[in-house]
Amino acid sequence: MTTSEVIAIIPARGGSKSIPRKNILDFAGYPLISYSIAAALEADTIDRVIVSTDDQEIAEISIEYGAEVPFIRPEDISRDETPDFPVFKHALEWLKSNQDYHPEIVVQLRPTSPLRRVEHINQAVLRLLERPDADSIRTICVPFQNPYKMWRVGEDGFLLQLIESDLPEPYNLPRQALPEVYWQTGYVDAAWVDTIWEKWSMTGERILPLVIGAEEWIDIDSPDDWRRAERLLESSEITMGDLGYEIKADRKARAQK
């Protein structure tokens, strides 16, 4: 579908404080990470699917479900506070040095968004291909709360507006009278690899939007998030057909090896 080489990288650390070992826990019958792997494998725009992990068990399960794990991520870029940039820089440098592999676009798929639709992966890549003047693209949605109605607490104990505005008392205005704003979902992010090399950034400054429905975005960061997302699948409110893929393996197949 594309004329550019596109790689999907799924970052998956072994450590997780909110839900220990969440990337490989059973989520509606399959390891959580397998959903992101299956979506990437199904996307016509993706040429390679790689998991970057510091954990051998995550690596083995990722391979079982069809991803490549050509390296184990170093410990010094696998900490709680590690941002995305060094993880992707390491992966791209490793592939360049060890496989002479030079993709033009890199797509980030976080395993904590298991209910990601294949169509959105394809849309993100295709829209970026149409705009070589852009640095990156990311999915956004309308937030549940408008930041013009949000506050900070000053040192004197009184409320301060989070966003300074020329609007008269925006916190007292109806939602329809406020500027339109969006929340970045982390659901699908894609960038030209040159953005990483030349701008030393995961996004650069010229970021395209891909707007998705707020109801389509679920990020698992707590046990409550996990239960809510799992119920959507188990109740068939969201189906694998809606997501656009099937998961090809399961833990029984792995255990029989």
Structural domain boundaries in the chain: 6-134+185-255, 144-181
CATH superfamily for 6-134+185-255 is: Spore Coat Polysaccharide Biosynthesis Protein SpsA; Chain A (3.90.550.10)
Other CB atoms closer than 10 Å to residue 130's CB: what's the count?
10
Can you give the pLDDT at residue 216? 83
3-state secondary structure of 209: strand
Can you give the pLDDT at residue 217? 82
Structure tokens at 193: 């690899």
Can you give the pLDDT at residue 15? 82
- CB neighbour burial string for 68-99, b if at least 16 within 10 angstroms, e if fewer: ebebebeeebbeeebebeebbebbbebbeeee
Report the C-alpha gap between 91 and 9 in whole angstroms: 8
Can you give the pLDDT at residue 255? 45
pLDDT along the chain (257 residues), means of 10: 84 87 95 97 97 97 97 95 96 98 98 96 97 97 92 96 91 92 94 97 97 88 93 94 89 45
Predicted TM-score (pTM) of the model is 0.91
**Contact indicator for 46, 37 with CB cutoff of 8 Å:** no
Report the C-alpha gap between 22 and 222 in whole angstroms: 10
Can you give the pLDDT at residue 16? 79
Report the C-alpha gap between 65 and 45 in whole angstroms: 19
Q: Residue 204: CB partners within 8 Å, gap ≥ 6?
A: 134, 135, 136, 191, 195
